[in-house]
């Protein structure tokens, strides 16, 4: 049954937390979330509610969250669940599809995208195993997410849990993987670039970290162009250094990248510069 415009408007007034709370009736399917997740969901999903979208949620479990997303999104949206357990197929209903397979299997993920087409929003709430999270991201963000889409990976606290192979700054975790992507986003500003930009540099607009969630926005990216405006530079930044031998040496040294780096990395040299500037 198609929802009326009045129904759609009323639903759009609900937050994800409202939809979560409304789900809690006797006999409803189980959902578990951390409370801080809801404001993150709203931030990325609210702009998408005015039109039908397709979203993927990795990790179906008891099927409750699929129904929550269906309630929250535009009534003509499609919610797609992915899970490795065949029994989850029974949670299909109008507006909800479920695919059974391994979230780390690129061939399986390719078959899903071939069936449903690129999607607007992806939420990884699957195994929480870093290897699986990374494999899903590498395929789905690259090949399954529309330009302008959003990819969320939640329950990233497992990156810090030893039983998941995690630990603080432990190589191989999803959190460290996401930090590497933050470096990819800033590739354009590297003074010594390690070869050509990666697909992540060319496709990831931003990486945003929250408590146990990492969010990635997709957008075709080019090298940023610096723009200037105004023709008056009233502050002469070299004026304090023009008097005295030491000041003149600093003006000369500032133009040498190696010496610039030494000053910025050495507290003693930086303090000498500050004293000279404060005297003028």
On whether the CB atoms of residues 125 and 155 are closer than 8 A, the answer is: yes
- Residue 17: what pLDDT? 92
Of the pLDDT bands very low, low, confident and very high (cuts 50, 70, 90), residue 218 is very high
Of the listed 62, 106, 128, 189, which one is catalytic?
128
- Is the pLDDT higher at 127 or at 266? 127
On whether the CB atoms of residues 204 and 182 are closer than 8 A, the answer is: no
Tell which residue, 71, 66, 33, has the closest CA to residue 49. 71
Q: What is the mean pLDDT of residues 4-29?
A: 75
pLDDT in tens, 55-97: 999 999 999 999 999 999 999 999 999 999 999 999 999 999 9
> What CATH number matches the domain at 5-218, 3.10.20.310, 3.40.50.170, 3.40.50.150, 1.10.540.10?
3.40.50.150
Q: Render the burial of 141-165: b for 16+ CB within 10 Å, e for the rest.
A: beebbeeebbbbbbbbebbeeeebe
pLDDT in tens, 40-56: 999 999 999 999 999 99
Q: Which residues contact 196 (CB under 8 A, 6 or more apart)?
A: none
Rounded to two decimals, the pTM is 0.83
- Residue 246: what pLDDT? 66
Q: Render the burial of 107-137: b for 16+ CB within 10 Å, e for the rest.
A: ebbeebbeeeeebbbbbbbbbbbbebbbbbb
Q: Say how far apart CA 83 and CA 89 lie, in whole Å.
A: 9
78-83 and 145-154 beta bridge pairing:
unpaired
For the chain, the structural domain boundaries read 5-218, 239-279
- Is the pLDDT higher at 267 or at 78? 78
DSSP string, 109-147: HHHHHHHH-SEEEEEE-S---HHHHHHHHHHIIIIIEEE
- Residue 35: what pLDDT? 96
Q: What is the mean pLDDT of residues 24-43?
A: 92
Report whether pLDDT(210) > 50: yes
* Catalytic residue flag (residue 128): yes
Of the pLDDT bands very low, low, confident and very high (cuts 50, 70, 90), residue 256 is confident
Q: Which residues contact 54 (CB under 8 A, 6 or more apart)?
A: 77, 78, 80, 116, 117, 119, 120, 121
204-210 and 119-124 beta bridge pairing:
unpaired
Q: Which residues contact 230 (CB under 8 A, 6 or more apart)?
A: none
Q: Say how far apart CA 179 and CA 208 lie, in whole Å.
A: 10
On whether the CB atoms of residues 70 and 95 are closer than 8 A, the answer is: yes
Q: What is the mean pLDDT of residues 225-235?
A: 83
pLDDT in tens, 234-251: 766 566 666 667 666 666
Most confident of 16-20, 25-29, 247-251: 16-20
On whether the CB atoms of residues 85 and 62 are closer than 8 A, the answer is: no
Q: Render the burial of 199-208: b for 16+ CB within 10 Å, e for the rest.
A: ebbebbeebb
């Amino acid at each position: 049954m198609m929802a009326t415009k009045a129904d759609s408007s009323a639903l759009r007034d609900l937050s994800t937390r409202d939809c979560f709370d409304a789900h809690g009736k006797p006999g409803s399917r189980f959902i578990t979330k951390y409370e801080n997740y809801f404001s993150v969901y709203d931030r990325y999903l609210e702009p998408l509610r005015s039109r039908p979208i397709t979203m993927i949620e990795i990790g179906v479990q008891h099927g409750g969250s699929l129904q929550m997303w269906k309630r929250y999104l535009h009534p003509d949206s499609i919610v797609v669940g992915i899970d490795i357990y065949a029994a989850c197929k029974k949670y299909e209903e109008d507006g909800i599809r479920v695919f059974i397979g391994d979230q780390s299997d690129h061939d399986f993920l390719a078959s899903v995208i071939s069936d449903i087409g690129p999607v607007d929003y992806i939420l990884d709430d699957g195994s929480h195993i870093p290897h699986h999270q990374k494999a899903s991201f590498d395929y789905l963000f690259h090949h399954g997410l529309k330009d302008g889409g959003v990819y969320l990976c939640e329950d990233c606290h497992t990156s810090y849990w030893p039983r998941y192979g995690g630990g603080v700054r432990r190589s191989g975790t999803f959190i460290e993987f996401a930090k590497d992507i933050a470096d990819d986003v800033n590739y354009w500003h590297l003074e010594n670039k390690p070869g050509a930009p990666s697909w992540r540099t060319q496709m990831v607009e931003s990486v945003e970290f929250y408590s146990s969630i990492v969010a990635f926005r997709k957008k075709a990216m080019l090298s940023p162009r610096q723009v200037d405006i105004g023709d008056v530079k009233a502050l002469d930044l070299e004026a304090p250094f023009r008097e005295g031998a030491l000041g003149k040496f600093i003006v000369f040294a500032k133009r040498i990248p190696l010496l610039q780096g030494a000053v910025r990395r050495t507290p003693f040299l930086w303090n000498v510069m500050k004293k000279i500037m404060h005297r003028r």
